[in-house]
Chain A
Amino acid sequence: DTGVSQDPRHKITKRGQNVTFRCDPISEHNRLYWYRQTLGQGPEFLTYFQNEAQLEKSRLLSDRFSAERPKGSFSTLEIQRTEQGDSAMYLCASSPVNTGELFFGEGSRLTVL
């Protein structure tokens, strides 16, 4: 499968725990994006990378959130000290620079109890 893959698909955790999500983009895509989606809403931008450089972060990303893309390939999104309001679907997408077309993974659904 050559699409965007995300792991885990589902994560249930207790409030206060740390969670980490991984995204593997399409191999030739140098841009990688993280979005968050809650029920009934469109996805909201969190951050994006061009190669290994993190170029923009949304103010939605509190200091409990951190994202990395250490070698310009896969990326991780970590949420520390989770809160119930963090419950959402976390979506990863990648795109080539030339077209800007985004391709999304299936998402990682987080439930914080």
Chain B
Amino acid sequence: KQEVTQIPAALSVPEGENLVLNCSFTDSAIYNLQWFRQDPGKGLTSLLLIQSSQREQTSGRLNASLDKSSGRSTLYIAASQPGDSATYLCAVTGANSKLTFGKGITLSVRP
């Protein structure tokens, strides 16, 4: 059974700091990995999708990497802003087309 872990559960940083959010998964037989952002009481917004054959994806200040063999992904956020405050969730898609989520990391960026 696939398990996705995100540690720590919460993170607080000052504005302008570069930061890395970590995600690990137990079964490396994945189809893709997605990072999502969730604001309180809202749905999930897709940030980046990395296919299993890819190593990284970039969008603006965000960069996500994937190391399938070690079961790890990182989301790098450059020059963090208070508007980046949210919960960031990592999810992997297995061969059964089902997405398995971590519990998320709640990020607070202090002005």
Tell me whether B43 and A105 are in contact (CB under 8 A): yes
A contact residues around B64 at 8 Å (CB): none
A21 to chain B, nearest CB (A): 13
Do A42 and B101 form a contact, CB below 8 Å, given A104-B44, A105-B43?
Answer: yes
Chain B interface residue number, banded = 20 to 34
**Quick check: is A99 within 8 A (CB to CB) of the other chain?**
yes
Chain B facing A: main interface SS: strand
What number of A residues sit within 8 Å (CB to CB) of B?
A: 27
Chain B neighbourhood of A50, CB < 8 A: 97
Q: Which residues of B contact A (CB under 8 A)?
A: 4, 31-32, 34, 36, 41-46, 49, 51, 89, 91, 93, 96-104
Question: Which residues of A does B touch, CB under 8 Å?
Answer: 4, 6, 31, 33, 35, 40-45, 48, 50, 55-56, 91, 93, 99-107, 109
